[in-house]
Copies of this chain bind each other. A is one copy, B any other.
Amino acid sequence: MIPIYEADRLEDLPLFDRGPQAEADVGAAVDAVLEAVRTRGDEALREYTRRFDGADLTSFEVTEAEMEAAWDSVDEDFRETLRQAAANIRRFHEAQVHRDFCLTDRPGVVLGQRYTPIEKVGVCVPGSPVAFPSTILMNVIPAKIAGVREIVVVTPPDENGAISGSALAAAKIAGADRVFKLGGAQAVAALAYGTETVPRVDKIVGPGGVFVAAAKRKVFGQVAIDMIAGPSEILVVADGKSDPAWAAADLLSQAEHDTHAAAVLVTDSRLLAEAVQREIETQLADLPRRDIARKSLEANGKILVTKDLAAAVEAANRIAPEHLELCVDDPFALLPLVKNAGSVFLGRHTPEALGDYFAGPNHTLPTSGTARFSSPLSVDDFVKKTQFIYYTREALTDAAPRIADFAEREGLHGHARSALSRMEEKGE
């Protein structure tokens, strides 16, 4: 049963263990895969795809014909769901686009900052149990909005060398440029180094198991990566008026992800705490993934009782959860108190699942307490900034003595000279 704690003193708050996955265990294996793909290219990819996915492929790229067949295989109702979800995601992420700026208010001086898209991006999509269409929408659409020129999706094939129709339909709707039947560390290697048929990209994003996580960490620097996601987490803040069945359902929706997932309820009501504890047991009985959910709850599930709702939000800030639900009458009153959280779900009718698939904000969120310093995946992750500076001769003349003095004090005389040399124009 999920345990209940009194958590009036925040220092005593029992935190759960959210260490990184055991990447070290697979380090040597991943090194071998990276090296093989770097040196032997497609040949190594064929080998690993045969060994790990059981598929014998001569070429990896999904063809136009396969795309069309996939599209036709998906029922129109789900296509419409994908279209609506994509439209919502597009609308939210378009609001994230920043403008370049330019400062021109000083005579002879222009300063500015431009955004340009990263040129090529790879999106990893895990294949097990199925390639999630939602993962494809959430990773490809922000890249598309950022203006990335080439978006390459990689996802492992099944034993017949095929990829699920709904994943390909999502890739089409999201606007992916190319899809390759590749998974695991070998897919990361192909994107980081390039092969005869797979383009080398500038950034690799998307979730993955321990092999993909380890490979991403190893190629980081060569290429950019997004984040190494840990187990999924939810923290539900709920008042005494909350329906225990809803709170229980939300906690279970997280716990069913995997056995390391964390589901926490924080409430100011001892009564609710106990009711949710009972309700979880009831709902577990007929949940298809109940074994996973139960293990997860036993390891990382907890219910905290705080003296009031402000203390509950303070507890949330301390835990810095990936998902934070505020199931209270006036959630907007609590929102300004939230400091550390990936995505906040406001009110009684905003379950986390809404954000996972449909509402529009991204579902790739900082885990393991990294919401203290990290952000949800966004258009920002697919652009980079370039600063620019322009000075006229007159403006430089004014500034040069101070620049030279500054440089001399830091011991860099060549820097001083590069400013002063402009003052010694020939023939004057």
Contacts and interface: CB of A to CB of B under 8 A. Distances in A.
Interface in A387-428: 387-393, 395-396, 399, 402-403, 405-407, 409-419, 421-422, 425-426
A81 interface: yes
A96 B103 CA distance: 11
A287 interface: yes
Given A246-B421, A388-B344, A406 B358 contact: yes
A93 to B, nearest CB: 10
A255 interface: yes
Interface string A152-169: 000000000000001000
A85 interface: yes
A201 B190 CA distance: 36
Contacts of A410: 130, 132-134
B413 A331 contact: no
Given A133-B406, A375-B385, 20 more contacts: A111-B361, A114-B335, A114-B338, A119-B372, A133-B410, A134-B406, A224-B372, A249-B421, A253-B415, A338-B386, A342-B387, A350-B391, A352-B415, A354-B389, A354-B391, A357-B402, A357-B403, A360-B389, A361-B387, A376-B385
Contacts of A185: none
Contacts of A355: 387, 389
A253 B81 contact: no
B414 A356 contact: no
A318 to B, nearest CB: 11
Interface in A110-140: 110-111, 113-114, 116, 118-119, 129-130, 132-134
Given A103-B91, A338-B386, A426-B243, A346 B110 contact: yes
Top 9 closest pairs, chain A to chain B, by CB: A224-B373, A361-B387, A375-B385, A346-B390, A256-B414, A253-B414, A253-B418, A353-B415, A344-B388
Contacts of A360: 111, 389
A126 B55 CA distance: 53
A114 B344 CA distance: 10
16 contacts: A84-B402, A95-B103, A96-B101, A113-B378, A114-B335, A116-B338, A116-B339, A224-B372, A253-B415, A349-B422, A351-B418, A351-B422, A353-B416, A354-B399, A358-B399, A371-B384
A166 B129 CA distance: 60
A203 interface: yes
Interface in A282-299: 283, 287-289, 293
Given A130-B410, A346-B388, A223 B373 contact: yes
Q: How many copies does the complex hold?
A: 2
A386 B350 CA distance: 16
Interface residues on A, range: 35 or more
A61 to B, nearest CB: 24
A396 B349 contact: yes
Interface in A219-254: 221, 223-224, 228, 243, 245-246, 249-250, 252-253
Interface in A359-381: 359-362, 366, 370-376, 378, 380
Most B CB within 10 A of own CB, among A202, A255, A385, A413: A385
